[in-house]
Structure formats: structure tokens, C-alpha cells
Structure 1
């Protein structure tokens, strides 16, 4: 089923270019445009949309504020931010955006965003549960990309930042470990130490060392603090009985 899309931008030329690219995507059906958030809300009131491609910095109600309004809809559309600024990516993550595109938009990145939005829209909508696979913005060669949570194996705290470790590298993001621990708790991630958050599925071993318990992840030993040992053991037992999430 092709997506019904609303594109919102206060710059007419950029809005026309975005709409042109969207109409050329095989996954997109109807494309409606709005030059400001007031017109966008009018369109959203009159018809349903699967996805909203949304500029951030606009006069009046900005894109972030509109996204918060959309989040209160009974059946909210997926949101993809399209902006010339890379300093709001963490805010987009907090709002559950499907993707975050930087202008000028390339056709291949737009196609990827359409696919992400389709997956978000197809996932069961439970207000108290995360979507099928959360995403977090990371910097790759000067471009902001949305890294899926499923690619993250463990997370290391760096003050107000966190380093996300994947199978092929790591990414430093401006998100505190405490926020990720809370948001990803129901997705199989467990806090093992004040500095570490680990996906249960990647823990190869839990053993008692000379300085206390450690877990082995990708051949590396990570410390388990005394206060988190009991919870970790309980989570490992439950996971073994029900299957890794």
C-alpha cells in the first residue's frame, strides 16, 4: 500500500523540490503540500496521512512543536524531519522521528526515509511501548543518519554523551546513558553498571572475576556493579526461558 504524504516547508522552491522527489518514489502515492504549520494542521484535520515530511525552522508554530501535536493524534502519522540544520537531531530522536534528512535532500536518502517511515507506520501503535525498532541520530562522514537500535550491542557513558558500540564501529551521541536505559529497557537492554548498558542478546558469558562480576560481549569484559548484579541475573534467566528479544 502506497503512502499518503504531507510535505511541509515555508520555502516554496524547497517544498516544490521535495514534493517532486516524493512523487517519484515508488512507495509514495498521494503527495499534498503545505507552506506553513497552520495549513498543515488544516490538511491534517481534513484528511489522514501516513507520513509528514516536516521542515523544522518555520515562522509561528515550528516543526518540532507540530510534531508534538501530531504525537497526540489517535493514529499519529510517522514524522520525517527535513532541515538545513543538524543541531536538532537529538530532539528528533526524543520525539520518535522516523528519520532526519539534511538539505539538500538526495533521492537515495529520501527513498531510505520513505522506507523507514513505512516500517514505523506499519508497526503496532502502543503508546506505552516503543516502536518495533527505535532509531537514534549519529554522525557519519558529516551526514546525520538514523542508526537502528537493533544494531547497537552495548553503550558506554561519557558524561552527558553516550558511545554506541555496533559490530562495525562506534558512535558518540549527545544523549545521556540514563535516557537510553529507560527508553530501551523493554527492548532487551539492561543496565549493568553506571557506565554501561548492554543488549541481553549479545552477552556471551557472565562470570565472577577477581574484582567482581563481568559480562563478556564481543570478546570484551565489561564490569557489572554490585547493585546491578541481581537484576542482570534475573533478566538473563527470564530471557533464557522466553527467548532473546
Structure 2
């Protein structure tokens, strides 16, 4: 399970405590792993910003550099990090599109609405994750993104990695690669195939299309596979 690093920026210590408690409750309920880093002001946050955060939760009405101005500076340093405004200034939060904010949460925090929004956001963060995979070749190595891996196939003691750049073969175990890809959206559709859910294009009865290939879904793996696929696509488990 990958740990989600969350920055909370708010000048009110009680508000930071309330938001942290909400995240801790959500983590306990969902089985997620989170680390919260608190900042009492935007300048401290921005001056030490190191692109290590998976999510930023920021108030708008703060002394010094306000949240909206801080978000504009943040986007100059990091155009992609998910940003959520947690504020009582709904009239300002609706302008968050200008800094590509994912959403806003109104104070005082209602845990029910908070949990619904944050479950979706944490799922989005997990879906965006990728790893760099390195494969040895006869004359060097090949590096590809996990996004470009369609699926892994096992035959005996050998694996075939079906990628956008062709098929790579090496001696290894599928269990070993499940561990290497932990935290990414990969799921077994049967005992022989580990599928990248990002690359699934269709499901028909007991088969799943991954890239140009149709792979069988076994009876024992169907429910966990379909649950993982549904969760990845943003729905609820079936």
C-alpha cells in the first residue's frame, strides 16, 4: 500500500486539527495510509516546497499570502499536484478553476460530504501513479513507464511483459512482480495474467480486452478483478 502525503495549510490550529482528524478517520475506514504535514501559513509551505506531496488542502482566507495567490505561485512550481480548497469562502472557492483546483470543501467540515469527495480524490491520486520499470537486454537495458505495460503473462518460470514497445521476456515469478507493482492499478484476471487496469478497453462475459488482446477471466478471480476495475473507473464495488 502506497502512503499518501497530504499538506494542510491553514492559519487556524483548530481547523488544521479538525481536518487532520477527518483524514485519519477516512484512512481508518478505507484502509488507506496517509501522512499529514501541517503548515500555519502559505509562505512556509511554498518556500520549502519539494514536489513530494500527493495532495494539498489549503484555506483561502489567511494572513500574508492568501490561499488563492499561493495557489497561483504553486502552479508555477508544480502544474499537476492535486489541490483542494478547504474554506468558508465559497464565493472565492468557485474561482478555483483558474488554478486547476480539483474541488473545494466548505467549513465547518461535514464528515459525510468530506468522505465522499475525498474517497474519489484519493482514488484519482492512486490512478495517476506510475513507476519506471527497467528490463535488462542483451546489449544494455530498456526503461518503460508502468503505464505502457498492458499485462504480464506467466508460463512456467518465465514471464512475458506485453508492452506498447513489444513483448519482453525474462525468468521471474508473477508473485514477485505483483509486489513490485503494488500500489499501482494491476490485478490478476486469472492465475496466468496480471492486467494493467489503465489499459482495459472492454469486458465481455468472461473475457477482458487489454490493448488488442482478449484474456480470459477465471471464475475464482472474476469478483475481485471486476471490483478492482470498477473501483479504478470511479464506481462502487459490485
Normalised to the residue count of structure 2, the TM-score between the two structures is: 0.47
Normalised to the residue count of structure 1, the TM-score between the two structures is: 0.45
